[in-house]
Amino acid sequence: MKKKRGMTLAETLITLTIIGVVISIVFPIIINNSNDSKYKTLLKKQYSALSQATIYAANKNDGTLKGIEGYHWPLLSKLLPALNTIETCGDWNAFQNGYYPGCDPINNDADNECPVGGVQPYSFKIPNGGCWKDSKFLLLNKQEFHFAWPDMAGAVLSDGSNILVSHVKHNQCQYQWDEFFNGTYNKPLVCGTILLDVNGNAEPNMVGKDIYGFWVLSDKLVPFGQNDNYINTCNTDSGGYGCAAEYLKN
C-alpha cells in the first residue's frame, strides 16, 4: 500500500499564491457591491425624508411652493422644520456684504439676479466652512466635474448626509433647467433642485454612486432621470445623473 504524500513546500506556496490572487480579485468586487447596496438603501431612506419635507413645505405654503421670493435659503428654510439637521450653511444672504456671487458688475440687476447695487461680483464667504468640503467629484464615467456649490443653501442631516438646495429665480416654478448639470425637466413646474450626498463628505463622491439629484416641483420631489433628459444615463458611458430614478423604481 502506497503512503499518502503531503503537499510539498513549493506546492503549498503555489496554492497560497493562487488563493491570494483570487481574493485580490473577488474581495474588492464584494466590497464594491456591498457599498452600492448601502448607498441605494440610504438613497431610498433619504429620498423619503426629503419627499415628506417637500410635501410639508408645500402644505405650509398654501399647498404650493410657488411664490417663494429670493434665492436658495428661502426654499431650504421651508424644508427645515420637517428635516432633522445638524447644521445649515451656504446661505447666499450671508455672503460677503450680502451680494450674490454671480452679480454682473456692469448689468448688476439683469434678470433680477443681483441685489440692487450688487457691485462685488464673485465675492463670497461660506458660513461654517460650508457643508460640502472641497473634494474631487466624479461622474459615473469617471470624468471629473465641478458644480457651483458655494452659492447654494446647504444642510447636514442627522444621519450625516449632505444636501444642497437651489431655488431658482422664477418664483412661479417655471424654470426647467438645472444649471449645474445641464439637465432639462420636460414640464414647466420646477421650483428648484436638491443635491444629496448620502454619506456626507466621505468618498467616492460620485454621481450615481453616493451623489443624487432631485427636481423640486411645486408640490413634490422628483428624482433626476424622471421626465427629463437624464433618462437612460445610469451607466458608465454617461454621467450617472439618471441613477436616482433608476434605483428608486427598483
pLDDT in tens, 139-197: 999 998 766 555 678 889 999 999 988 887 667 888 777 776 778 999 888 999 999 99
Contact between residue 189 and residue 218 where contact means Cβ atoms under 8 Å apart: yes
Non-local CB neighbours of 183 within 8 Å, separated by 6+ positions: 177, 213, 224, 228, 229, 230, 241
- Selection from 82, 204, 186 nearest residue 137 by Cα: 204
Nearest to 71 by CA among 145, 164, 187: 164
Query: What confidence category does residue 130 fall into, taking pLDDT thresholds of 50, 70 and 90?
Result: low
pLDDT band per the 50, 70, 90 thresholds, residue 29: low
Please state the rounded mean pLDDT for residues 113-135: 49
